Amino acid sequence: MAQNDTPQNTLSQRIKELELMVQISRTLTSTLDLERLLKLIITMAAKLVSSEGASIILEDRQQGELVFRAVAGPKSKALVNIHVPIEGSIAGTVFKTQAPLIVQNTERDPRHYSAVDRNIQFDTQSILAVPMLFKQQTIGVLEAVNKLENRGFDQHDLQILSTLAAQAAIAIENARLVTELQDANTRLAELDRLKSNFIAIASHELRTPLTLILGYASFLRQEADEAASKKLDMVLQGATQLQRLIEDMVNLNHLETGSVELSWSEFDLRTLIQEAIERQQQFALARSLEIDISMPVAPLSVRADREKIDIVLNNLLNNAIKFTPPGGRIQVTMRPQTGAVAVSVIDTGIGIPADELAHIFERFHQVASHLTRREGGMGLGLPIAQGIIELHGGRIWAESVKGRGSRFTFTLPTVPHNEKDLKDV
């Protein structure tokens, strides 16, 4: 025991170390900036074991070597990014064996990789190296070099550095994961931007020739004999379907990029619903479906983009017709609420399984079991409807029992009475 190593002194020193450890662990868990974290760890390591310097050596997975990632002490700048082989170095030995190592005299230890010392003109005398483990895997090595006051590193230093290394490994992995996640997010955002651009360009390029096809086909249809008209009808039908898909893609793209401009006007929602149903009536009849309407007698004013709400109604009615077997019933109801109106499209169709309900508003989502009976569509109708309704400050949702039918409801804010009264003045 050295002269001033009285039990009292040792105890108060241990308490100080413990306090420092608690402080370090708090800081380590609250820092996600990798560079700051590494710097903090090595500064603390050198302080805790009273060494001239300390370094973090991490694995470079691509090169299959170790590399100095952060260094504290003399020559620290020169050391950063220097590679150390896994075979034939103290750090490599600790890395491979996952066991800590104390080397009191590096000159006499053949494992010491002296090329680094020569390179940066530093004299490493003693080394304490401990593995940094994360989930039983070594991610690197934490080293302290040259114990101060000419004393050798002891078991207590080893214990302290190992405790720090264990915490540091977790903090480093966390910070790495966060960085990877941020990078992945940036890449995703870029991909999303590219996708939006692609849709914008592709749909624009498709629209022009499609308009030509539709124009010529309609013209020829007027002139054609019976046999040719049938064929032209098929051309027209296909082209119209394609046009609808392109419009859907464009609409969704606008909604997602926030480039939709609503054209606000005040109108009676009942009239719009009536018109939308009339337009779909022939399709419903063709499938032997009945459409019932239940609406208030008095007009119900909303301030909204009329064309956009028409798209929502069309999409919901379209789905109700598509997914209801012949002989079924579709009901459209409109109920006034406080400050809002709720519109429901209810069908007696095939319904939606409970675990699918949460997903049907996701773009391109289609219930797998419905695919066999689908008649066109890409799974864009509902996300478009949702985007439009939310832009208006409303809500849209679905309720359904598989095999029994579905109910899609959306709400829209109504024009307050007093506002209307003011306008009437």
Return residues touching ligand ADP (CB under 6 A). 315, 319-320, 323, 347, 349-352, 360, 365-367, 370, 377-382, 406
Q: Which is nearer to ligand ADP, 46 or 380 (CB)?
A: 380
Query: Would you say 46 or 398 has its CB closer to ligand ADP?
Result: 398
Closer residue to ligand ADP, CB minimum distance, 35 or 290 = 290
| Rounded Cα–Cα distance for residues 384 and 253 (Å) | 9
Cα angle for residues 393, 399, 403 (degrees, 5° grid): 150
| Residue 41 near residue 56 (C-beta atoms within 8 A) | yes
Q: Are 217 and 232 in contact (CB under 8 A)?
A: yes
3-class secondary-structure state, position 345: strand
φ/ψ of 292, rounded to 5, equals -105, 150
CB of 322 to ligand ADP, least distance (A): 6
Provide, for the chain, the percentages of residues in helix, strand and coil under a 3-state DSSP scheme, each rounded to the nearest 5.
Answer: 55, 20, 25
Q: Tell me the closest approach of the beta carbon of residue 269 to ligand ADP, in angstroms.
A: 21
**Per the structure block, which two tokens stand in for 366?**
């289609």
Q: Do the Cβ atoms of 95 and 138 come closer than 8 Å?
A: yes
Residue closer to ligand ADP (CB basis): 145 or 396: 396
Between CA 273 and CA 206 the distance in angstroms is 31
* Nearest approach, Cβ of residue 260 and ligand ADP (Å): 18
Residues composing the chain: 425
As measured in angstroms, the least distance from the Cβ of 408 to ligand ADP is: 6
Nearer to ligand ADP, 69 or 370 (CB): 370
| DSSP string covering 78-117 | HHTT-EE-STTSHHHHHHHH---EEES-GGG-TT--THHH
Q: In the complex, what is the shortest distance from the CB of residue 359 to ligand ADP, in angstroms, rounded to a whole number?
A: 8
Closest contact distance (angstroms) between CB of 323 and ligand ADP is: 3
In the complex with ligand ADP, which residue's Cβ is closer, 169 or 249?
A: 249
Cβ contact 171:31 at 8 Å: yes
Contact 345, 370 (CB under 8 A): no
Residue 388 CB, nearest distance to ligand ADP (Å)? 13
Residue with nearest beta carbon to ligand ADP: 377
Of 335 and 365, nearer to ligand ADP (C-beta) is 365
